Amino acid sequence: MVQNTDLLIVGAGAAGLWAAVAAGRAGLRCLLLERRHRPGLKLLLCGNNRCNISHAGSAAELQADYGEPVGSFLASALRLLPPALLRERFAACGLPSKVLHDRIYPSSEKADDVLHCFTDQLRDLEVPLLLNCPARKITPLAGGGGFELQCGKLTLQTRFLLLATGGVSYPKTGSVGDGQRLAAELQHRLEPFRPGLAGIEVSDAWLCPPGSAEAGVPLVRLTLVSRGQTVAITEGNLLADRTAVRGSAFLDAARIIGRRQLDAYELVLDLFPEQTAAGLAQMLSRGWQKTKQAAATLNACGLEHSLARGLAEKFARLFAAGSFCPELSQALKSIPIQVRGIRPLKEAIVTIGGVSLADINPGTMESRLQPGLFFAGEVMDIDGPTGGYNLQAAFATAELAVSSICQRLAPAPPAKAAPSPARRPAGKSPGDKKQAWGKDFWQKRPR
């Protein structure tokens, strides 16, 4: 039985890896447990293996972008680890980053490098990582003295426990809902799981006409309408294949549909958000003068061949009418999309639902029901839009959880502020947050 750890971290994904490095840096006796044979399997898939680690903006801007209730819940975590500081931390560990359209990526654009950045630090800090080690049962020790954790045949005891087991999408990466089950066994409420950032199935044949494998548009605008009210407007790319439409505009819309649990809704697509209807009419007119063909006209306006062909068929009546321009440009800027459904949770980029935010203190990430038990990342009912928000949330909540644990482990300040010869100079106490979590704290250690 391993008995003398300060902190057991369950799950070596984005949140658990960040937490383990932070705990190692703070000098905690910490052990990281992972149910799969490798850490960070989902991290490796992120951003098409380029790993969009965060999103440019201030803590307040990001908080607004998450939307409620997630934004308010993440406020303290984002203030502690805003994107600029996150970049500094990675840079100090040898992983410089760059910003592409407000999305933050490692300069190498390799998810591998992000994972190695973590595993190199764990090695240097001598933080042990146990693989193939699924946590199965948590038993609180009598008198609030910590926890006993069963992992296969191992029984571990710890003072603090951090659950960072992820959501339930892409289960092959290891996130299968264990953390939520363990939390529920300790009386935490769970919000039902729903797909966030998932593909949208449509009946519109023009989006992927027969003979084309995939179609894309770099920038579209999507208006989500429910019961006659505009619920949200999303912008980004469109990627359509035979099963569903993806791309950030559609993924973000799917997240809002899931978060708000909309049952009746419509999607309206603007294929030319940067053009006014009048400007688009002029473009169409110029294209028609040159080509005198519907598909070629749409292609001349920037739509790729397969989409241009599909739309030429859809709007054949307007083209046939001859003076099609004003009507057609309006139509291309507001195409109703016939939604059949949202792709299943196992394919979603993020899980909506999980451990209820009502049972977690947002200022510390500690359970409100079980003192000493902390949460980080997607195991909680948090999710964000596309663009690096989900990793940012995983890293920031992990940072806050470990920072809170460090404060709890720090020696209590003297009862009276009376000066004493033995008193340490200001800012030099082992529990001092500034010193423990300042910039130098994350300097890369020599190999």
Ligand X SMILES: Cc1cc2nc3c(=O)[nH]c(=O)nc-3n(C[C@H](O)[C@H](O)[C@H](O)COP(=O)(O)OP(=O)(O)OC[C@H]3O[C@@H](n4cnc5c(N)ncnc54)[C@H](O)[C@@H]3O)c2cc1C
Residues near ligand X, by CB under 6 A: 10-16, 33-36, 41-43, 45-47, 51-52, 134-135, 164-166, 169-170, 173-175, 178-179, 349-350, 377-379, 388-391, 394
Tell the smallest beta-carbon distance from residue 312 to ligand X (Å): 34
Instruction: From 103, 70, 109, 365, select the one nearest 196 (Cα to Cα).
Output: 70
- Name which of 46 and 281 has its Cβ closer to ligand X: 46
Instruction: From 344, 385, 363, 384, select the one nearest 199 (Cα to Cα).
Output: 344
DSSP 351-419: EEEEE-GGGB-TTT-BBSSSTTEEE-GGGBS----TTTHHHHHHHHHHHHHHHHHHHHHSPPPPSS---
Tell the smallest beta-carbon distance from residue 420 to ligand X (Å): 44
- Name which of 73 and 319 has its Cβ closer to ligand X: 73
Asked if residues 182 and 289 have their Cβ atoms less than 8 Å apart, the reply is no
Continuous segment of H or E residues that includes residue 5: strand 2-10
- Name which of 116 and 433 has its Cβ closer to ligand X: 116
What is the gyration radius of the CA atoms in the chain, in angstroms? 25
Both tokens assigned to 263: 């049952």
List alpha helices for 126-201, DSSP H: 178-185
- Name which of 300 and 349 has its Cβ closer to ligand X: 349
Antiparallel, parallel or unpaired: β 154-163 and 147-151: antiparallel
Q: How far does Cα 113 stand from its chain's mean position?
A: 18
- Name which of 52 and 121 has its Cβ closer to ligand X: 52
- Name which of 310 and 377 has its Cβ closer to ligand X: 377
DSSP secondary-structure letter at 439? G
Quote the longest CA-to-CA distance of the chain: 93
- Name which of 135 and 253 has its Cβ closer to ligand X: 135
Give 365's contacts (C-beta < 8 A, 6+ positions apart): 77, 374, 375, 376, 397, 400, 401, 404
Tell the smallest beta-carbon distance from residue 407 to ligand X (Å): 22
- Name which of 329 and 392 has its Cβ closer to ligand X: 392
